[in-house]
Amino acid sequence: MDKLTDMTGPYTIFDWSNFDEHSKYLLGANAEPEWIIESPLGTASNYNLHAEVGSGRMEFVALLRGLRVIIFDCAWTNGRTFHVEDGDWIRFNFSLSIDIAMHLSKTKLVNAATPSWRIINNLPGSECIEIIPPHSKTVWVTICCKPPFLSELTGIALDDMPDLLRSAILNDTHDSFHELFDFTARLNAITADIIRTDLTGGLRISYIEARSIELLCHAIDHVMHSNEEPARVHLTAADEKALHEAKRILLSQFVDPPSVTALSRRLGLNRNKLYYGFKALHATTISEFIQDLRLDEGKRLLCETDLPVSEVADRVGFRHQCNFSTAMKKRFGLTPSQFRR
């Protein structure tokens, strides 16, 4: 990609893959944190902007679970221009107040100036120039993670996610991905809580991790369900036959099911026809159908065998026992140990 410096002038590099060096990228090489907190969950550092730079504060939280969080509540005296390198990190930005121009390429410009949230996924090696004007208040929480974390969070293989979310995470379009969404009241409230918390020490890091994951969960759920196409899709007799075959395949392979892409190729259906047609014909999504099969088999094994819970979870396709326990509780109202009793 051609350099963008000619249209923005001098800029500061911010590299998400080198997060530990964030302060010098934003505040200069001599910036010192007001405080640093370390805990088994990660590290948080807070910087107050000096008068010659601006006003307000920035907090940077590096969580060992695989999240990086930046909290902005500040204004720049002279404005700032940043060259942002995302690498293989995906950004979720939740803005209560924002005025920023994002140059994703020479021909792709995004202006964000209202309360909103966005998913940003720039291809490795691509250039993104972000320009914040002087005296503009920026109040936001940015959460950065890698695709496997989102798969673990949702319990859905990346390739099996709904199209918009899959496109955002995998970014197989050979272009920078940027999608803007309106705030829901819940997202707004969680974002404000993270910014305003006055907790200190290890409690602060625990709180920011928990609320950041909560923020991601509601945001991803919003994407997965607010953009679904209507259940009515035109299905030919051949389509219905293929969709019944899809159900038969999943009934026999729910522990290690084929991806939606692999299944669509096997059946000769495009992804949309498979995804929405399956829901229209069988009154459930593919991922929900697989989850229900796994939990039903898990319930049977818990009731009819003496297998350890961890082995039951593994046998029905859950990589982590805690995810299995959470799903059982949600589906049946009982944890695996309660079933055993």
Do 176 and 307 reside in the same domain of the chain?
no
- Chain segment 67-101, per-residue pLDDT in tens: 999 999 988 887 777 777 778 889 999 988 866 66
Residues 6+ apart with CB under 8 A from 136: 75, 76, 79, 99, 100
Inside any domain, residue 231: no
Record the pTM: 0.65
Do 250 and 141 reside in the same domain of the chain?
no
Inside any domain, residue 82: yes
Do 70 and 96 reside in the same domain of the chain?
yes
Dist CA 206 CA 199 (whole Å): 10
Inside any domain, residue 100: yes
Do 260 and 330 reside in the same domain of the chain?
no
Inside any domain, residue 232: no
**Listing from the earlier edge strand, what are the strands of the sheet with 109-112?**
12-15, 80-85, 128-132, 100-103, 109-112
Do 100 and 178 reside in the same domain of the chain?
yes
Do 74 and 121 reside in the same domain of the chain?
yes
Inside any domain, residue 220: yes
Inside any domain, residue 93: yes
> Which pLDDT belongs to residue 199?
97
Do 76 and 183 reside in the same domain of the chain?
yes
Do 14 and 139 reside in the same domain of the chain?
yes
Could you tell me the two tokens for 173? 């379009």
The domain that holds 304 is classified in CATH as: 1.10.10.60
> Which pLDDT belongs to residue 167?
75
Residues of the chain with pLDDT under 50: 1-10, 229-231
Inside any domain, residue 33: yes
Do 15 and 36 reside in the same domain of the chain?
yes
Domain holding 211, by residue range, is 5-226
Q: Do the Cβ atoms of 218 and 154 come closer than 8 Å? A: no
> Which pLDDT belongs to residue 94?
93
> Which pLDDT belongs to residue 10?
47
Do 198 and 275 reside in the same domain of the chain?
no
The domain that holds 31 is classified in CATH as: 2.60.120.10
CA 235 to chain CA centroid, Å, is 33
Do 172 and 251 reside in the same domain of the chain?
no
- Chain segment 124-151, per-residue pLDDT in tens: 777 677 777 777 788 999 999 999 999 8
Do 134 and 101 reside in the same domain of the chain?
yes
Inside any domain, residue 267: yes
Q: How many domains does the chain have?
A: 3
